[in-house]
Amino acid sequence: MNYMQRYYGIDFLSIFLLILSFLFGLWHRTSSISIILFIYSIFRVFSKDLYKRQKEYDLFYTYANKVLKKLGLQLPYNTIPLNFNFLTSHINNLKYKITQSKNFKITKCPYCGQKLRLPRGKGKITVTCKKCLRDFKFKT
């Protein structure tokens, strides 16, 4: 389920290219450059050739730090490219909620506010809240 594990991910160079593509996209004459930069930054994120992407980043890091050193700044080198493995739990949670919403109806107890999961398609049923032990009728 680690979908993005085999891809390079996002690093400072990809973010820099996205910002440049946005800036070039502001003017009509440079919109083609903007599109090329955007496509290349997305290509870098989803690239499987980790060695080449790391070499590109090393070159970018060298020249960017030469420019930033004049301003008294420096890019940190030890940043790990960001991948999207953390999204898998959120995606699985969303899939679970969608399947649950097809089979069950979520409602709240009118007395205590406790969330209750009721089966769909049973008509009007009498529900006993597990928290406050009160009965109420609900249409599923």
26 close to 107: Cβ distance less than 8 angstroms: no
| Residue that has been written with the tokens 């910002």 in this structure | 19
| Residue that has been written with the tokens 């898998």 in this structure | 88
In which region does residue 14 sit, left (phi positive, over 0), alpha (psi from -120 to 50) or beta (all else)? alpha
Boundaries of every domain in the chain: 3-70, 97-139
pLDDT digits (tens, 9 = 90+) for 102-116: 899 989 999 999 999
pLDDT bucket at 7, cuts 50 / 70 / 90: confident
